[in-house]
Amino acid sequence: MAVVGQVLQSEWTKIKSVRSTVWTLGLALVVTVALGALISAFSSSNFERMPVQERVNFDPTFTSFAGMGLGQLAMIVFGVLVVSNEYSTGMIRTSLAAVPQRGTFLFCKIVVATLIAFVIAMLTSFVSFFVGQSMLGSHRTSIGAAGVLRAVIGGGLYMTLIAVFSMGIAAMLRSPMLSLGILMPFFFIISSILGAVEATKKVGQYLPDQAGHKVMQVVSFDDAPYGPWGGFTIMVLWVVAALAGGYVVLKRRDA
């Protein structure tokens, strides 16, 4: 237990001493809140000009999270940098020499980074919600309305899991450029294409981002065969698979 405590402290020191990881978290907060506020204000001013179907399915809570699509980019970068920075600098050899128990090393790194991401993600989600609702005017909702608190907490969990999923992928690939080169197209191109094409739409619904979005919705406007927590569970399974893959690679391959 003493060893675990020392490793946790070491990982905390590593993360806070690297400016790039700190800046990415700050960027995730600012970008998500700002873009969500902008889109919420635009939606409010153009509400009466929306098609009838869009007005019927309008979800003020999910609208305030419109910036998360871009904010998750920063969370992906954070997750990748936390794990792969040591590989790119060669410090991984020193770290594994100091902590030869590779499972303990990875566990402590993931735990510390996840807790940091969780705090920032929850703050981002709640601030995005309240700022977004202030911009929606008469079309706003309240935190006490049915399903809203779940969606706001779900927004924080979603952003946290995006970061953790990225950590698992980075642990498998061990390269920041390769990890980002796969994760960026996966979330911002492949997932969007699969979700937009009718023939692959059902496949896209089981990708981590599309399934995870479900927990942030109060008004359901798609035909997904699962509810908010069902989508969240699917995303968790993706994260567990990524972390398991990262552990296997770390255990079997030399630094």
- Local confidence band at 254 (pLDDT 50, 70, 90 cut-offs): low
pLDDT, tens digit (0-9, with 9 covering 90-100), for 14-23: 888 877 888 8
Side chain identity, residue 134: S
Let me know: does 37 contact 137? Beta carbons within 8 Å.
no
Residues in the chain: 255
Let me know: does 40 contact 135? Beta carbons within 8 Å.
yes
| Nearest 10 degrees: Cα torsion 132, 138, 140, 142 | 120
- State which residues form the domain around 16: 2-252
- What local confidence, expressed as pLDDT, does residue 222 receive? 77
In this structure, what DSSP letter does residue 255 have? -
> SS3 for 50?
coil
Nearest Cα to Cα of residue 231 among 216, 213, 211? 211
Let me know: does 130 contact 37? Beta carbons within 8 Å.
no
Burial class (CB in 10 A: 0-12, 13-18, 19+), 209: buried
> Would you put residue 99 in left (φ > 0), alpha (ψ -120 to 50) or beta?
beta
Q: Residue 132: is its pLDDT beyond 60?
A: yes
pLDDT, tens digit (0-9, with 9 covering 90-100), for 164-221: 999 999 999 989 999 999 999 999 888 989 888 888 888 999 999 999 999 999 998 7
- What local confidence, expressed as pLDDT, does residue 81 receive? 92
Question: Which tokens hold the place of 216?
Answer: 């942030």
- In total, how many domains does the chain have? 1
Q: How many CB atoms lie within 10 A of CB 56?
A: 10
- What local confidence, expressed as pLDDT, does residue 101 receive? 86
Token pair 């739409």 is at which residue? Answer: 201
Q: Residue 2: is its pLDDT beyond 60?
A: no
Region 132-149: mean pLDDT is 94
Nearest Cα to Cα of residue 235 among 224, 247, 249? 224
> SS3 for 218?
coil
- What local confidence, expressed as pLDDT, does residue 197 receive? 85
In angstroms, the CA 36 to CA 219 distance is: 17
pLDDT, tens digit (0-9, with 9 covering 90-100), for 23-79: 899 999 999 999 999 999 999 998 888 888 888 889 999 999 999 989 999 999 999
Q: Residue 95: is its pLDDT beyond 70?
A: yes
Task: Provide the mean pLDDT of the chain.
Answer: 91
Which residues, at least 6 apart from 239, have a Cβ–Cβ distance to it below 8 Å? 161, 164, 165, 168, 208
In this structure, what DSSP letter does residue 147 have? T
